[in-house]
């Protein structure tokens, strides 16, 4: 570790371990490595792909790729934590980030107008993994149990709907745009100036339907809303988080088909459940979410996105 760095924190998810250190001039270094036992492989896209993505950024908000060092990803960013961390700990409130999220919506729209450069992955990794899982879960007991419980809750016709939605997204010929692939709220970092910041980019950049990025952000905001509702003494109401979703949608502008966005949010939620099952095992959260999945499928995602004040 560079002698100028000072350790700030270390945390881990099922996929990644992140070590945060402080640098000079209010800059921070995030070093990410695969968590022990995870199936994560850290790979960077080709240079031409990275350049196309970074070109979509603005003076206020950048799309930042890491350096690859000894098999790890190393980012230099303007804050030690994401906007999700600061909101869930009460340091900031959702309205503090409306300007930033509005600009992220504009950037996503700009990215989706760019033709994918040669060498871009042909599918968002999360979606391809989910399609494979719907056909055959991995050998982990918790994933197979989730597979079984979902089968009981949603029945064959709804299962077929999920498979069809995956196929439509993967095979859609009319919309093969450049995707960030991992446009999650936890990848958005606020800068010191209001409305400034960055979005982490990595190996998930792909071509595909624009709904993949939009739904990823919206489903992520719904998840943060759910987490906030369970946090003791955190006085943030669901409409506060809805303001972020609306800011993103206004910044993004008109969509080709908002029906596909809501359907894709359901697929994103299921992908999240598969990851939770793989890394944490069966728990009450999975049980509750599995029970709600039939309602989300029947509403084609509208019920899931209700906290975003989603309107079809």
Q: What is the CATH number of the domain that holds 173?
A: 3.90.1200.10
Cα–Cα distance between 116 and 30 in angstroms, integer? 28
Q: What is the structure's pLDDT at 16?
A: 87
Q: Is residue 31 part of a domain?
A: no
Q: How far is CA 288 from CA 80, 263, 292, 307, in A?
A: 32, 19, 6, 17
Handedness of CA 230, 231, 237, 241 (dihedral sign): negative
Which residues form the domain of 113? 81-307
Q: Is residue 223 part of a domain?
A: yes
Region of residue 272 (phi > 0: left; psi between -120 and 50: alpha; otherwise: beta): alpha
Mean pLDDT for 54-67 is: 97
Which 3 state secondary structure label does DSSP give 39? coil
Cα–Cα distance between 96 and 131 in angstroms, integer? 37
Q: Is residue 275 part of a domain?
A: yes
Q: What is the structure's pLDDT at 176?
A: 86
Q: Is residue 41 part of a domain?
A: no
- Supply the pTM of this predicted model: 0.94
Q: Is residue 61 part of a domain?
A: no
pLDDT class for 167, splitting at 50, 70, 90? very high
Is a pLDDT exceeding 80 seen at residue 126?
Answer: yes
Q: What is the structure's pLDDT at 39?
A: 67
pLDDT digits (tens, 9 = 90+) for 263-290: 999 999 999 999 888 888 888 999 999 9
Q: Is residue 265 part of a domain?
A: yes
Q: Is residue 76 part of a domain?
A: no
Q: Is residue 53 part of a domain?
A: no
> 179 and 41 in contact (C-beta within 8 Å)?
no
The count of structural domains within the chain is 1
Mean pLDDT for 233-251 is: 86
Reported as half-sphere exposure (CB side, CA atoms, 13 A), residue 292 has a value of 16
- What is the rounded average pLDDT for all residues in the chain? 91
């Amino acid at each position: 570790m560079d002698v100028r760095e000072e350790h700030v924190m270390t945390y881990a998810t099922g996929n990644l371990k992140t070590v945060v250190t402080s640098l000079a001039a209010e800059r921070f270094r995030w070093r990410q490595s695969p968590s022990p036992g995870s199936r994560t492989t850290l790979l960077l896209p080709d240079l031409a792909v990275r350049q196309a993505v970074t070109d979509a950024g603005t003076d206020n908000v950048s799309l930042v790729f890491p350096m690859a060092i000894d098999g790890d990803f190393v980012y230099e960013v303007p804050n030690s934590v994401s906007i999700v961390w600061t909101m869930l700990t009460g340091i900031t409130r959702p309205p503090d980030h409306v300007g930033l999220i509005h600009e992220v919506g504009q950037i996503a729209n700009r990215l989706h107008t760019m033709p994918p450069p040669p060498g871009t992955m042909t599918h968002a990794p999360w979606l391809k993994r989910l399609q494979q899982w719907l056909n055959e879960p991995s050998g982990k007991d918790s994933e197979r149990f989730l597979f079984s419980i979902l089968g009981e809750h949603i029945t064959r016709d709804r299962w077929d709907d999920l498979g069809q939605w995956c196929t439509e997204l993967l095979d859609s010929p009319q919309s093969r745009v450049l995707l960030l692939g991992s446009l999650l709220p936890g990848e958005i970092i606020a800068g010191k100036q209001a409305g400034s910041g960055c979005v982490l980019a990595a190996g998930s950049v792909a071509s595909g339907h624009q709904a993949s990025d939009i739904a990823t952000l919206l489903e992520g905001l719904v998840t943060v809303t759910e987490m906030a509702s369970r946090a003791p003494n955190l006085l943030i109401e669901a409409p506060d988080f809805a303001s972020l979703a609306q800011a993103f949608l206004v910044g993004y502008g008109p969509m080709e088909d908002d029906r596909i966005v809501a359907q894709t949010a359901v697929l994103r939620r299921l992908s999240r459940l598969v990851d939770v099952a793989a890394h944490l095992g069966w728990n009450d959260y999975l049980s509750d979410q599995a029970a709600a999945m039939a309602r989300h499928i029947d509403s084609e995602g509208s019920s899931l996105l209700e906290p975003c004040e989603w309107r079809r």
